[in-house]
Amino acid sequence: SAVISQKPSRDICQRGTSLTIQCQVDSQVTMMFWYRQQPGQSLTLIATANQGSEATYESGFVIDKFPISRPNLTFSTLTVSNMSPEDSSIYLCSVASSSGAGETQYFGPGTRLLVL
Amino acid sequence: AQKVTQAQTEISVVEKEDVTLDCVYETRDTTYYLFWYKQPPSGELVFLIRRNSFDEQNEISGRYSWNFQKSTSSFNFTITASQVVDSAVYFCALSEMNSGGYQKVTFGTGTKLQVIP
């Protein structure tokens, strides 16, 4: 399985500001995913990021609020823009070696975000 | 649309007891994959197991075992002789291909397991 790191591990931010979360993988992967986990809740997929193409967003998530970059096969960023307290969550990056339905997704340690 | 139900929100057991975590899923696809993940208090999701829809054999890995039954759309997880280190939130998940040709994983709401020493 891949080793995945995320930066920052946690942050406290003021409303109206933006935060960019980085996800770094120790090997080249085809698929990278960004999830949100609100306090005490399950994981919700924000978007799927393929290298060299625009990210695919799930219903309820838009590019203006959560812009994503995927410049190469080992790195991605998620920006949480114009934050409000409702954005307080754990944001998790995950990777899969292919787009197949059976591919296991491995997760990073997450970024704990608190918006005041 | 696919759906994963984990009806048990929280379970408490005394150390060394056996415990079963239930997972029921819904899907229209004939080909799909099921997963279990563990999320300890540190927050990182740890992959435990993957099963495909064509393999109904039960699996055992140490103190962990999984019972997959297509007839009841269930994929239950049993921990034998539980230990305090098993305390975590456990998520069941279902994977299918979405309309865009990408893998789409749906997670259940999770079961919080507390093992009391």
Rounded mean pLDDT, B7-30? 95
Chain A residue numbers with beta carbons less than 8 Å from the beta carbon of B51 are none
Number of H helices, E strands in chain A: 0, 11
- Per-residue pLDDT at A23 exceeds 70: yes
User: Is the CB of residue B109 less than 8 Å away from at least one CB of chain A?
Assistant: yes
User: Is the CB of residue B42 less than 8 Å away from at least one CB of chain A?
Assistant: yes
Q: For residue B31, what pLDDT is reported?
A: 86
Rounded mean pLDDT, A22-31? 92
**With an 8 Å Cβ cutoff, are A103 and B103 in contact?**
yes
Chain B residue numbers with beta carbons less than 8 Å from the beta carbon of A92 are 45
A78 vs A23: CA distance, rounded Å: 8
**Closest-CA residue to A93 (of A27, A1, A5):** A5
Mean pLDDT of chain B: 92
Interface test with B, best of A42, A44, A95, A114 (most B CBs within 10 A): A42
Q: By CB neighbour count within 10 A (0-12 exposed, 13-18 middle, 19+ buried), where does A55 fall? A: buried
Nearest to B110 among A42, A109, A110 (CB): A42
Output the CA–CA distances (angstroms, integers) from residue B85 to A13, A27, B24, B37, B39, in the order listed.
Answer: 33, 30, 25, 15, 11
**With an 8 Å Cβ cutoff, are B44 and A110 in contact?**
yes
Chain A residue numbers with beta carbons less than 8 Å from the beta carbon of B103 are 31, 96, 99-101, 103, 105
Report pLDDT digits (tens) over A46-105: 999 987 788 999 999 999 999 999 999 999 999 999 999 999 999 999 998 776 667 889
A42 vs A36: CA distance, rounded Å: 8
Nearest to B95 among A43, A90, A102 (CB): A102
- State the nearest Cα–Cα gap between B45 and chain A, in angstroms: 6
Q: For residue B55, what pLDDT is reported?
A: 85
Q: Count CB atoms within 10 A of the CB of residue B64.
A: 16
Report pLDDT digits (tens) over B52-100: 898 888 888 899 999 999 999 999 999 999 999 999 999 999 998 777 6
